[in-house]
Amino acid sequence: MKAHPGLTLVFFMVVATACDAEKLPDPSEYPAVSMNVATPAKPVLKSRLARLYRTRINEGAKAGPNFAGHYTVVRWGCGAGAFMFFVVDAVNGAVYEPPEVCIALSGDEAENLPGFGNHNPGFSLTSKLLLTVGVEDGPKDEPYGRAKTVYLFDKGRFKRLYKEHAPL
């Protein structure tokens, strides 16, 4: 049997593309240093957006650290199938805004990806990575661009490391 040259070329293109595809970052490769925080600091609400959601942030921060060693992810719904969140430093009370204000079409539950848990956003106390699944509601985002996005949270900033289309 003779191989068709066109099919051979397509096969190698698919294999090369699969090899070059980005890999979902592993939370264990971005460890966070845990700190024992007996009493979480009161959130310092400096931004206008943080002050707008002060009750949610203040109440959520009382739970204590649940992310990246000594931070607290405070999350709440902002419409049908949508959520928003802030990150609060349990040591000094600094409040950090998310990379996108509202994540829509998040689905009922996030995918249960190793190291991220089964919540959306996905995060853990032992890693600096945060996962969102949904449509990011920002000025540069596409309305039909539902995606699985992984951010590195370091020195008070979110840096996007990975983004992959995630259909419902």
pTM: 0.81
Could you tell me the mean pLDDT of each successive run of 10 residues in the chain, 168 residues long?
Answer: 50 40 89 92 98 98 97 91 94 95 72 77 95 77 77 97 87
Q: What is the dihedral angle through the alpha carbons of 138, 142, 145, 151, rounded to the nearest 10 degrees?
A: -30
Read off the tokens for 101. 């204000």
- Extents of the domains making up the chain: 27-165
